Amino acid sequence: MRLCGSIGGVLGAAMLAVVTIPAAAQSKNLAPGFSALPKGARVVIMPTDIELFSISGGGVLEPKADWTEAASKHFKAAMIEKKQKLGLSSVELTSKQADEAEEVNALHGAIARAINIHHFGTLALPSKDGKLDWSIGEPVKQIREMTGADYALFSWVRDSYTSDERKAAMVAIAVLSLGRVIPTAGGVQTGYASLVDLNTGRVLWFNRLQRGSGDLREAEKAAETVDALLNEFPITK
């Protein structure tokens, strides 16, 4: 009787342990309850909000229009190739539609920066409870009305590169510092990508890229950046 009771007690404890084990944690990159796009979902690939800068000798970011133009072309081509690899059913905006959606694109940029700071960064918002609980709101319905799609993929990218003057200045400072290790301000590549439900404005998936490598001025390296930014994009295979 004692043996049976002991076995029963062990089994009961084991069952309780199974019941009380928490479910697998929701990915920080996914909104609660969302796991992947349904098959055949139509997604609008929004024009990438992109800008490149040169870091001057004094450490000031200076916009470079020619670099930005080249990067925009490379990034767009890489996005087209990526969506084909993913098997994504996508919708393209016309030039007129892209112009009309410029404010929505800018709004996404603001929301994306907030997500980076308050969801992935150190300034977490208690009201979010650590969840990807963000929305672009009603303005995205304009995109749905334009295209008939239910989802949109937004992207925002900034990249900077040290100028020759900046490199020379850093070398000079190192020499004057007698070889001591000093902080330097090299180029940084920052990117955000968001999958948004156009019916509700809800951000379903978000990914960020922050690193000191990459070069969007070159097609091959721009493609690598797109691969990194869309890593683990939530699409049903």
Mean pLDDT lowest among 82-96, 128-142, 173-187:
173-187
6 pLDDT above the threshold of 60: no
| SS percent in the chain: helix, strand, coil, step 5 | 45, 20, 35
Whether 21 is covered by a domain: the verdict is no
How is 3-34 classified by DSSP, letter by letter? HHHHHHHHHHHHHHHHHHSPPPPPPTTB-TT-
Whether 13 is covered by a domain: the verdict is no
What's the domain range around 177?
41-229
- Which amino acid belongs to residue 201? G
Contact criterion met (CB below 8 Å) for 191 and 156: yes
Question: Which of the four pLDDT bands, split at 50, 70 and 90, describes residue 25?
Answer: low
Q: Degrees (nearest 5) of the Cα angle 202, 204, 205?
A: 140
Whether 18 is covered by a domain: the verdict is no
- Which amino acid belongs to residue 118? H
180 pLDDT above the threshold of 60: no
Whether 7 is covered by a domain: the verdict is no
How is 60-80 classified by DSSP, letter by letter? -EEE-HHHHHHHHHHHHHHHH
- Give the residue with greater pLDDT, 116 vs 178: 116
Query: What's the mean pLDDT when you consider all of the chain?
Result: 84
42 pLDDT above the threshold of 90: yes
Whether 236 is covered by a domain: the verdict is no
Beta-carbon contacts of residue 199 (< 8 Å; ≥ 6 apart)? 141, 144, 150
Distance CA 72, CA 36 (A): 28
Whether 26 is covered by a domain: the verdict is no
What pLDDT shows up at residue 184? Answer: 45
CATH number of the structural domain spanning residue 198? 3.30.160
Whether 9 is covered by a domain: the verdict is no
Contact criterion met (CB below 8 Å) for 37 and 187: no
Contact criterion met (CB below 8 Å) for 210 and 190: yes
Whether 10 is covered by a domain: the verdict is no
What pLDDT shows up at residue 186? Answer: 58
Total tally of structural domains belonging to the chain = 1
- Compute the residue count for the chain: 237
Q: What is the pTM of this model?
A: 0.81
DSSP strand E in the chain: where?
42-45, 49-55, 61-63, 89-91, 151-162, 189-197, 203-211
